[in-house]
Amino acid sequence: MCPVDRLPKTAVVDLDDTVFCTRERERMAKGPDGQLHWATFMRPEYVASDTPNLAVIAEVGKLARAGYTVVYLSGRDDSVRQVTEEALRRHGLPQGKVVLKRNHQVLEPDLEWKLARLYELARDHDLVVGVGDRETDWQAYAALGIAVWKVKDGQIVERSAVILEDNNA
């Protein structure tokens, strides 16, 4: 591992209900019993129907322009990698590594899975800020001392201190 001052400053960004709104996908994936059916929720054609949260996307763009490497870390499973990467490109998000659950990891609790991936990323990245919409995202980021940006209803509603110098704003 390199000294932290030589590692790339990195923003870790969640996808579902952070970068993308999943409301329509959730509606389509609910059965007659009102329960969300995970296999249906993860169907590629449904994932492709997610809409962009433009305010969050704008902030992720600012992070990239300020020199941050962006890593997308999501509990989505690997079966939707292609539609996920296409959606990131289509909506103008900065290029970045996309870390998704492998199919055998889908039942692993989100907090444990995200913590393990964050520790792996920390070997090669200076993790500075995490952007997410769920308590488990916030807990995982805080556990590693990463600034937390909380998202609700497509907006960043709370931020730990991270100073951006956006040279292209």
CATH of the domain at 123: 3.40.50.1000
Number of independent structural domains in the chain? 1
Q: Is 134 inside any structural domain?
A: yes
Decide the pairing of beta strands 126-132 and 147-152: parallel
Q: Could you read off the pLDDT of 5-46 as tens digits, one per residue?
A: 689 999 999 999 999 999 999 999 998 999 988 889 989 999
Q: What is the pTM of this model?
A: 0.89
Q: Is 26 inside any structural domain?
A: no
Q: Is 17 inside any structural domain?
A: yes
Per-residue pLDDT of the chain (169 residues; tens, 9 = 90+): 455 568 999 999 999 999 999 999 999 999 899 998 888 998 999 999 999 999 999 999 999 999 999 999 999 989 999 999 999 999 999 999 999 998 766 667 889 999 999 999 999 999 999 999 999 999 999 999 999 999 999 999 999 866 555 555 4
Give the 3-state DSSP-derived string for 63-88, with helices as H, strands as E and coil as C.
HHHCCCEEEEEEEEEHHHHHHHHHHH
DSSP state at residue 14: -
Name the H helices within 30-75.
38-41, 44-47, 54-65
Q: Is 135 inside any structural domain?
A: yes
Residues 156 and 56: their CA atoms lie apart, in Å, by: 7
